[in-house]
Amino acid sequence: MTDRRRTILEGAARVIARRGVRGLRVSEVAAEAGVSTALVYYHFKDRPGILRHALAFIGDRADRYTSAAQEPTAAGPEDPRERLERMLLLEFQDLPEVRENSTAWGELRAHSVFDPELREELATAGAAWAAEVAELLTVACPGAPGPAAGAAAERLTALLEGLSVRWLSGLVRQAHARELLRAAVRLEVDRLAATIT
């Protein structure tokens, strides 16, 4: 990605996280990024083009800060369930970048209820995320049936999305959201382990 494209998408993510998608104008994104409106159109064609690219950009950033959880730690090989917990819990961090990213992603998701424009991108990103979680569940429970791991992954990611909105709107404290999610991972892993004959 060129620096100019990145600057514009960073600006779009900030605007979306600050005031939402609805009523978002291309001129606001341009002003936030410190470039001309014409340059935004040149790179992303139109408003839906900006939203689609912003979604991919925000998804990539989330991958970056959660994939840190997948690196081997100095302490040596880690329990696969703990690795999965660590990856999911990184979505609840009181860092400005994480909060901005989660807010923008949640808003794009909420917006898709009203506007089918982003549905395909959200479906693709959601499927990739669930597949990654299912893969880690299978590592944690070797021999677990694929469909059971897939359903568990869908529940864990949907729970995380529900908790994320509560956290970002101040309805639940971060530590409590993390505790609820950690318990859910344990429940799902234990159940998957019990399905292995």
Pick the stretch among 54-62, 86-94, 109-117, 137-145 that binds its own copies (CB under 8 A): 109-117
Pick the stretch among 29-37, 62-70, 81-89, 158-166 that binds its own copies (CB under 8 A): 158-166
| 126 near its own copies, judged by CB under 8 A | yes
Q: How far is the CB of 166 from its own copies (least distance, A)?
A: 6
- Using an 8 Å Cβ cutoff, are 195 and 148 in contact? yes
Q: Output the 3-class SS for the chain.
A: CCHHHHHHHHHHHHHHHHHCCCCCCHHHHHHHHCCCHHHHHHHHCCHHHHHHHHHHHHHHHHHHHHHHHHCCECCECCCHHHHHHHHHHCCCCCCHHHHHHHHHHHHHHHHCCCCHHHHHHHHHHHHHHHHHHHHHHHHHCCCCCHHHHHHHHHHHHHHHHHHHHHHHCCCCCHHHHHHHHHHHHHHHHHHHHHHCC
Residue from 146, 183, 195, 196 touching its own copies (CB under 8 A): that is 183
Sign of CA dihedral 89, 133, 20, 169: negative
| 159 near its own copies, judged by CB under 8 A | yes
| 4 near its own copies, judged by CB under 8 A | no
Nearer to its own copies, 77 or 116 (CB): 116
Pick the stretch among 31-39, 41-49, 77-85, 101-109 that binds its own copies (CB under 8 A): 101-109
* Distance of alpha carbon 164 from alpha carbon 195, whole angstroms: 29
Nearer to its own copies, 45 or 190 (CB): 190
Q: How far is the CB of 110 from its own copies (least distance, A)?
A: 4
| 128 near its own copies, judged by CB under 8 A | no
| 133 near its own copies, judged by CB under 8 A | no
Nearer to its own copies, 39 or 151 (CB): 151
Q: How far is the CB of 159 from its own copies (least distance, A)?
A: 4
Identify residues 71-100 at the interface with its own copies (CB under 8 A).
Answer: none
Residue from 85, 112, 129, 137 touching its own copies (CB under 8 A): that is 112
List the end-to-end C-alpha distance of the chain, in Å, as a whole number.
Answer: 48
